[in-house]
Structure 1
Amino acid sequence: MSAEIIEIFPSNPDERKIRQVVECLKGGGIIIYPTDTVYAMGCDIFNTKAVERLCKIKGIKPQHNNFSIVCHDLSNIATYAKVSNNAFRLLKRALPGPFTFILPATADLPKIMQTNRKTIGIRVPDHTIPQRIIEVLGNPIITTSLKDDIDDIIEYPNEIEVIYDQNKDKADIIIDGGWCGIDPSTVVLAIDDDFEVIRQGVGDFEEINR
C-alpha cells in the first residue's frame, strides 16, 4: 500500500494529525517528516521490527547502523547519551538547531541501536513538527535523511511530489510540512571535549563554539 501524505502546518500543528502520526509510529510504521534542515525518514527507536525494516530500506545491517536519533529537548538527551559538562554547554548553545552531535551512548539506548562504536548521533531540530511528534510519542525517533544518488550528485529532495514518488513504497506516512532545505545538518564529533566537525552542513560550528 502506498504511503499516505498528511499536511501539517509547522506554525500550528493539528493535534489530531500529530496523534495519527504517533499511532503509526507505535504500530511499527515508518514516516518521512520535515526538520530544520532536510526531510528525514524515521521510526520509533523502541520498535525493533520498525528499525529492522528501516535498516533493510537503507541497505545496512542493524549492528552497523549509523542512524541518529531526534530528541525533544536537552533533558531528553541525557537518557541516551553521555554528556560531559563542556559538551552540555556546547549543546545548550547549539540546540535546537541544525546540528548532529556524535556522543557516547548509554545503556538505555535500545539494543538494536547499539553498535560496536558505542556512540549515537543526537539531533534536536528547531522545528515544531518533529518536536511535537516526539513529545506525544514519549521517546525519540530515528532520523536518516533522504538522498538521491543520480550521476554521482547527491541531492536532498524537498518537493513532496518527488519525495512521494521515490518513497511511496517505503514509508507509511509522508508529512507535508512545506519547504525545508536541501542541505543537511552539521555533524560534530563530541565523544570527548576535543570537538571536531566531521561534516559541514547548515550549522555554523564556529558561531556556537566561541
Structure 2
Amino acid sequence: MIDTHLFDLINAFARATPWLHGVMTAYALWAGLVVLALLLVAGWWWTARYRQDAPRAVATAVLTGVAAVVAVLVNQNLFSPAIGRVRPCRALAPVEVLLPCSNDYSMPSDHTVIGGAFVIGLLILSWRLGRPAVLLALLLAFSRVYVGVHYPADTVVGLLLGAVIGAVVVLGGRRGATTLAQRLTRTRLRALVTARPTADLRSPRLDRVG
C-alpha cells in the first residue's frame, strides 16, 4: 500500500535524524498549531489597524478561529469514528514513535484538520498571510507522520477536511459577523475591530478581503 510505504520512508528518515527529534516533536504536538494561531492573531491586529474594510476582515479572522473548533469537533464526532483507522504506531511494528500513541483513530488527523481550517481562513483574510500558513500547515502534516502517530493520508485528508469546513464556516458566516463587527465599532469594544476613524470604514459590499 502506497500510504504505508510512504509512512515507512518518513519513519526511516526519523530514525536517521535523531538531532531533529526535539524540534519535530514539539512542532507536531503543539508548536505547529500555536504558530498558525499566532499568525491569525497577527492578522487580526493588522487588519484592525490598517485595513479600510476592518470590520469585515476582523470578522473573517474571528470566524477562522471558530471554524477550527467546529472542524475538529466534526472530525472527532463524525469522520474519525466512521473511518475507524488504527494509528500506525499501533498497527505497525517496529516503528519510531516520538509521542505517546493515543487510543483514538488515525484518520483524519485532528491537528491537520485544525491546520486546514486556519489556512483557508488566512487565505480568505489575506494572501500575504495565507501563503506562509500553507507552508506551516504542510510542515505540521509532515511532522505528524515523522513522529509516528499518523499515516501520510491521514494528514492530507485532515488538511482538506479542515479547509472545506473552514470555508463553509467563514464564507457562510461572514456577512452576519461583519454586521456584528460594525456594531462593535460604536461601542467600547471598538478597539477590537478597528483603529481607523468611523468615516474611513468601507461598506462590506464594496470590499474584497484577501
TM-score by length of 1: 0.22
Instruction: Point out the structure with max Rg over C-alpha.
Output: 2
